[in-house]
Structure 1
């Protein structure tokens, strides 16, 4: 699990591709400190496993499903990437719950200055993600925990302070570029629980017993309202 607080910006050292499978080498200095084989690292918000490392770089494998669902396929030698190690149990929870499981890719449709901040407008490729994107809610963009400023039509916007801009790959992003999106996991759990037992629970097994689900009568009966 991650928090969406980027630890450093790394640089792609090498990319080996065979079909939709990739092996990526990444130059880094902070996230390699204390690294162990098999450690999880969020690369532009994608949870990947360190398969080799030394003091200045590490290597990760990208499987076809990840290739298809993220923008990692666009990485080239020299590309900048946001990096974050998995959260330590004794650390501060400074962002929000980030799994590193990307929901889809978005396109930056606008960038504008707002006094000391920069506002990015983003359009998700999958419009179905909008049910999880709410004003003042949390969203992860290329591994960065951010707050949604507003939603409008099929776009939403986030406001970036100078520190975040300077310490992440957003400084290199321009209109038309793509970013990885991960919506807040809490909304997904609520949706699943509300739909459970109604014949449309996502990923459930066929042998699950029917459930009335959670609705207003249920809440009233059990003293919630």
Structure 2
């Protein structure tokens, strides 16, 4: 479980395709690897990956074909920056919202509009996720916990403050770039519970 508060901008060192539908990713992140052990979870652009090993500030993780197909990890290259977050520790503050690191879909940036002290960024909204996205609700974009400002039928907008722009990969993304989305898991549980009621 994560909070969506990015701890560090990491860098892809290598992405090695496996013999079958898989890859091994190596990521440099001195902060998140400072206490990482085999089996720990680290969020990479919102994808929960399991640490295989950790050597000199670089951790490696296996990435299944399912993850490569359903996320934007497959388009990363050596030198790409990524958002990194270690799993939340019990007893610490929950600064964002409950984030699983299970990507629900990929969107693209469709507009960036500078404002006075922030920037309005608009993303496409995959139709199958639209019912889970509400104004003033939480959404995770590339592992960043954000508040939805506005929702239309096929897009949503967030207000990006300077800290988010500076400390995450979202600041350097351009129109047309893909991003990973994770909707609020509570909405999915509520839908399932209500759908199972005999009304």
Q: Please say whether Structure 1 and Structure 2 have the same fold, judged by a TM-score greater than 0.5.
A: yes
Q: CA deviation at 1:195?
A: 1.2
The corresponding residue for 1:205 is none
The corresponding residue for 1:14 is 14
The corresponding residue for 2:29 is 28
The corresponding residue for 2:155 is 155
The corresponding residue for 1:173 is 173
**Count of residue pairs the alignment pairs up:** 198
- Which is bigger in relative contact order (C-alpha 8 A, separation at least 6)? 2
**Secondary structure of residue in 1 paired with 2:190:** helix
Is residue 193 of structure 1 aligned with residue 193 of structure 2? Answer: yes
**Secondary structure of residue in 2 paired with 1:14:** strand
* Distance in 1 of aligned mates of 2:122 and 2:17: 31
**Where do 5+ consecutive residues of structure 1 fail to align?**
197-212, 216-225
* Distance in 2 of aligned mates of 1:171 and 1:160: 9
**Secondary structure of residue in 2 paired with 1:130:** helix
Residues 123-162 of structure 1: pairs in structure 2 closer than 5 A? 123-124=124-125, 126-162=126-162
* Distance in 1 of aligned mates of 2:171 and 2:128: 28
* Distance in 2 of aligned mates of 1:55 and 1:162: 31
* Distance in 2 of aligned mates of 1:100 and 1:143: 7
Q: CA deviation at 1:128?
A: 1.5
Q: CA deviation at 1:182?
A: 0.2
The corresponding residue for 1:67 is 68
Q: Deviations over 1:98-133 (max 9, x none)?
A: 000000000100011011101110003x31100000
* Distance in 1 of aligned mates of 2:61 and 2:159: 31
TM-score, length basis structure 1: 0.86
Bigger Rg, structure 1 or 2: 1
**Secondary structure of residue in 1 paired with 2:24:** strand
Runs (4+) of structure 1 moved beyond 2 Å?
none
* Distance in 2 of aligned mates of 1:214 and 1:6: 42
TM-score, length basis structure 2: 0.97
**Where do 5+ consecutive residues of structure 2 fail to align?**
none
